[in-house]
Amino acid sequence: MAIPLVSKLLRNHLLELASKDERLDGRGRWDGRETNLEVDILPRAEGSAKVTMGDTIVYAGVKFQLMTPYPDRPNEGGLMCGAEVRPVAGRNWEPGPPSPQSIELGRVVDRGIRESGCIDVKSLCIIPGEKAWQVILDLFAISDDGNLFDAFALAAIAALKTASVPCERFDIGPDYPLEVSTIPIMCSYHKVGNRFVYDASYKEELGGDERIHITLGEEYHVHSLQKGLKGIFSADEFAEIMEKAKDKSTELRKLVNSKVGE
């Protein structure tokens, strides 16, 4: 990603807004943008979702491949999660091999899903030591107006929830839905104007400092954390956003459940 210039004017403006407890687009500190989730929209994918958060738009697609289980884990299939932010998504995203930014994106989303245990990799085994399913989750950004992390994570879990294992195509019996036992939800908070806000827009990310990503499972179990970018935060600040993440994750989990028909 090309490193964009950050004007002092923008930073000062954000500071000034923060002192009045306001945000660039008029939202409250803990308000998200309008979030829209569509599922099963990609006919070539075995599971798919599209998430729109304001002007941020991402797709997630699930594909299955046959793999040989790893020698040390002969009874397990695999889960792979990759994020691609191609230059279509914004003028600062450049072509070429995945940038550190998009690798971080993919890995943080991957950890939240993997560590929540929502996919039982043992259930992906077909013949121990010989054949197993590899679930490949591809995250694809179409438009980046900030907070790709949350959009990716939401699309990812919704896509998995709608995925069906394509046994027929591989002559291994009838297709069946992929079992996804829990719904991990990521909530991201950016330090903008010296205080944390939820769901930062591109301009807020640009003129802000560090960001913190929290993935919460059912009953507020913590599954992944990530602090990114330069910045210092206190334990009190963290405790505050953790409390906010609990409410927000419950709300977003309801959204996922309402779309995947449970």
Which of residues 43, 100, 174, 261 is near other proteins by CB under 8 A? 43
**Letter string b/e over residues 178-217, b meaning 16 or more CB atoms within 10 A of that residue's CB:** bebebbbbbbbbbbbbebbbbbbbbbbbbbbbebbbbbbb
Residue 61 in contact with other proteins, rule: CB under 8 A: yes
Q: How far apart, in whole angstroms, are the C-alpha atoms of residue 84 and residue 144?
A: 12
CB of 194 to other proteins, least distance (A): 26
Residue 201 in contact with other proteins, rule: CB under 8 A: no
Written as six digits, the tokens of 88 are 């279509």
Residue 154 in contact with other proteins, rule: CB under 8 A: no
Q: How many CB atoms lie within 10 A of CB 113?
A: 26
Of 3-11, 143-151, 187-195, 234-242, the segment contacting other proteins by CB under 8 A is: 143-151
Phi and psi for 215 in degrees, rounded to 5? Answer: -110, 120
CB of 49 to other proteins, least distance (A): 11
CB of 71 to other proteins, least distance (A): 24
Of 61-69, 123-131, 186-194, 220-228, the segment contacting other proteins by CB under 8 A is: 61-69
Q: How many CB atoms lie within 10 A of CB 129?
A: 13
Partners of 48 in the beta sheet?
A: 61
Of 7-15, 20-28, 124-132, 142-150, the segment contacting other proteins by CB under 8 A is: 142-150
Q: Is 167 helix (H, G, I), strand (E, B) or coil?
A: coil
Residues binding other proteins: number (CB under 8 A)? 33
Site residues for other proteins per CB under 8 A = 2, 42-45, 48, 55, 57, 59, 61-63, 65, 82, 84, 86-91, 95, 97-98, 136, 138, 140, 142-145, 169, 202
